[in-house]
Chain A
Amino acid sequence: MSTTIKATADPLAATARSTRAELLRLRTWPAVWITLGAWLALSIMFGYLFTYLSYTTGDSNFADEGSTKAQQLAEMLPTGMPDVFLQGMPMFGGALMMVLGALVAGNGYGWGTWKTTFSLGVRRAPAVLGSIAALTTFVVATLVASLAVDLGISLLITVTEGEDVVMPSLGSVIESFGAGFLVLEMWALLGYLLGTVARGPALSVGLGLVWALVVENLLRGVGALLGWVEALTEVLPGTAAGSLVGSLVGVDGDGNGTPGVLDAVGGDRAAITVAVYVLVAIVASVLLVQRRDVS
């Protein structure tokens, strides 16, 4: 009951090699740039563009219902940047990262590239870990780009509106960056796991999005009526990610705040829950690929 192929491999070096390989093929894949570009475009649109239009024209719109002009301006200045940076992540940021993760893991089955890689003696665990490391690199790069763009826009607004430049505290930037990383990384890796389970991106993306955008929201609605459902939703990924972000940016009491941003559980507990999902997704993906037949 065994198939043995003699291999001499230092797993760490093998993981580093596979990371380089995956980075090479991911950075030339248009789908990756389209997904990350969509995130940047959406976060600029909902983070600054609509607020700015509302601020300059005086109309109030759905993104900033009821907020006063002073509040709107404060949001758009550099001191508000750490919050603006985070607020789109629980909803569309997470969804887009899940799409990315599912694409990175799943397409290789349909194209036969995992088969090619493994049939050439590349060890599975380092290959998957390298693939996850490359995906993580893109998540971090997205966060850095997003932070830079947000800061640039807020500085531009500061100058055009004639305000004094007051930079956000380094602590708050680091805190937002860390929370943002946890949230996006969790969704990316859950997407990776789904893509691995389904051996393709289509089904995994479809089901994953329905879950993240619809099912968890419905469950939270049911949770208001049934205690045990509420207890369940508190450990679900969307609730945890939303609460982590909510603990930093704050949640409007009237329920008209940013979609997906919650205060269902405390920030510390939410961060731990999200981190657990990250670990579980990594371990499950590696174990699954190691054990399965690839053909």
Chain B
Amino acid sequence: MNENTTVASTESLTKVYGGRVAVDKVSMTVRRGEVYGFLGPNGAGKTTTLRMMLGLIRPTSGSAHVAAARVGALIEGPGFYPYLSGRANLRTLARHRGFDDTEVERVLERVDLVERGDDRFKGYSLGMKQRLGVAAALMGDPELIVLDEPTNGLDPAGMADMRALVVDLARGGQTVLLSSHLLAEVQEICHRVGVINGGRLLRESTVAELRGGVTLRVRATPEPEALAVAMRLAGDDGVRRDADGALALALPADAAPDVARALVEAGVDVHEITAAERSLEEVFFEMTKHEDHHGPKEKVS
């Protein structure tokens, strides 16, 4: 498997609805074999971007390319015939695409719907509908699977199952492009993320890069002396003062004993030293706060 080949990409992808810019020059790259998290709040432009990628809607400008022979997708909720059973719905899609009925059974099993497969779609719970949508996306073993908010409307157990399924798909070599407004979800299962807000792609990188690695959190008094020691060890730019007065040092976790020793030798009282990782949530809020300083977005007509 080629690790770093591009399976889907967009270039300056833009969609304007009436004077409102829904997607603003988004350029993103999804690589083969990864779980790509497309992260942003509701209304950020995630679904619109994915729709353009799949050719459901036309871009106002820019382009999208998908280099996969087979693509599976679940976009903005599952759309099925209410009067047909789950199984018959999938069989209809299988006929459209020239797949065998055995493929229907395989994907029904994959999402644990075999037993309820003959029930009508309209009687399904929200979670079952969502799972049937994922089953449709899995048909034909696609190289690229696009899942738009797949855990929407699921209960906690259903969410956990869905995440496990995504992880499992990636382990099997399939590329998954997953949109989500849940940071914990993306942090847990994605390799790379694209952060989108207000139609703009703010950042695209690995989860680890985005979080900026481990920092050492130090609470010590008196503060000025502690700060001097910290800056000597971590460098002038390697120290950040958190809101609660603690210091965040850009040092690896195994530097903790050295930091403690240096602080004690300088006569500083050490209250706490912990290895802390920034959550994606903190990064995200920092990033979107920064974005807001750009002021109101200019209208495109």
Instruction: Give the contact stretch, choosing among B33-41, B95-103, B109-117, B235-243.
Output: B95-103
Type the 1/0 row for B66-83, where 1 means its CB is closer than 8 Å to any CB of A.
111111111111111111
Residue from the list B57, B65, B73 in contact with A295, Cβ < 8 A? B57
Is B56 touching A6 in the complex (CB atoms < 8 A)? no
Is A17 touching B98 in the complex (CB atoms < 8 A)? yes
- Interface check A35, CB cutoff 8 A: no
- Nearest chain A CB to B53 CB, angstrom units: 7
Q: How far is the CA of A13 from the CA of B98 in the complex (A)?
A: 9
Residues of A76-114 contacting chain B, CB below 8 A = 111-114
Chain B residue contacts of A293, Cβ below 8 A = 51, 56-58
Is B81 touching A295 in the complex (CB atoms < 8 A)? no
Is B96 touching A17 in the complex (CB atoms < 8 A)? yes
Instruction: Give the contact stretch, choosing among A116-124, A198-206, A209-217, A249-257.
Output: A116-124
Is A112 touching B58 in the complex (CB atoms < 8 A)? no
Instruction: Give the contact stretch, choosing among B84-92, B180-188, B225-233, B285-293.
Output: B84-92
* Number of residues of chain A lying within 8 A (CB) of chain B: 35
- Interface check B61, CB cutoff 8 A: yes
- Interface check B136, CB cutoff 8 A: yes
Number of A-B residue pairs, CB cutoff 8 Å, is: 122
Q: How far is the CA of A114 from the CA of B51 in the complex (A)?
A: 13
Residues of A242-295 contacting chain B, CB below 8 A = 293-295
Chain A residue contacts of B84, Cβ below 8 A = 25, 28-29
Is A294 touching B57 in the complex (CB atoms < 8 A)? yes
Q: How far is the CA of A132 from the CA of B136 in the complex (A)?
A: 24
Sample of 30 A–B contacts (CB below 8 Å): A1-B63, A2-B63, A3-B53, A6-B66, A6-B67, A6-B68, A17-B95, A18-B96, A20-B95, A25-B88, A25-B89, A28-B83, A28-B84, A29-B81, A111-B81, A112-B77, A112-B79, A115-B56, A115-B75, A115-B76, A115-B79, A116-B78, A116-B79, A116-B93, A116-B136, A119-B51, A119-B54, A121-B70, A122-B97, A295-B57
Across chains A and B, which 5 residue pairs bring their CB atoms closest together, nearest first? Answer: A112-B79, A21-B95, A293-B57, A21-B96, A116-B79
A residues adjacent to B (C-beta < 8 A): 1-6, 8, 13, 17-18, 20-22, 24-25, 28-30, 111-122, 127, 130, 293-295
B residues adjacent to A (C-beta < 8 A): 51-84, 88-89, 91-98, 133, 136-137, 139, 146
Apart from A21-B92, A28-B83, A120-B73, 19 more pairs, CB < 8 Å: A2-B63, A3-B58, A3-B64, A4-B55, A4-B66, A6-B66, A17-B97, A18-B95, A21-B93, A21-B95, A111-B79, A112-B78, A115-B76, A117-B96, A119-B51, A119-B73, A120-B136, A120-B139, A295-B57
